Amino acid sequence: MDNDAFHRQLEQLGSREVRARIVTMVYLGTEATLAMAWLERRAATRAAAAANSRAATAMVIAIISLIVAIVSGVFSLLQ
């Protein structure tokens, strides 16, 4: 099986099943190495997505805080 076909198989199985197949030694040698690398890439992708989500949330909070500060400043000038 070529690498592309193997990666498609991994995608279809999902992380949980791939980990189970590694532990139960269904995948050996090159397949085990490719499966481990695939799992590591998926974990890195999930971590990056989570970091981006946290950064986006922080940006939204900062923008809302800035808007509140500007509105408060305008109200204090009007009084």
Tens of pLDDT along 3-35? 889 999 999 999 999 999 999 999 999 999 999
Question: 47 pLDDT band (50/70/90 cuts)?
Answer: very high
Determine the Cα angle at 55 with ends 49 and 61, to 5°: 140
Identify the helix (H) or strand (E) that includes residue 22.
Answer: helix 15-23
Mean predicted confidence (pLDDT) in 70-75: 93
b/e burial code for range 6-38 (CB count within 10 A of at least 16 → b) = bbeebeeeeeeebeebbeeeebeeebeebbeeb
Is the pLDDT at 62 greater than 80? The verdict is: yes
- Tell me what the mean pLDDT of segment 34-53 comes to: 96
Q: How far apart are CA 13 and CA 7, in angstroms?
A: 10
Tokens of 67: 């808007």
Averaged confidence pLDDT in the chain: 93
pTM above 0.75, yes or no: no
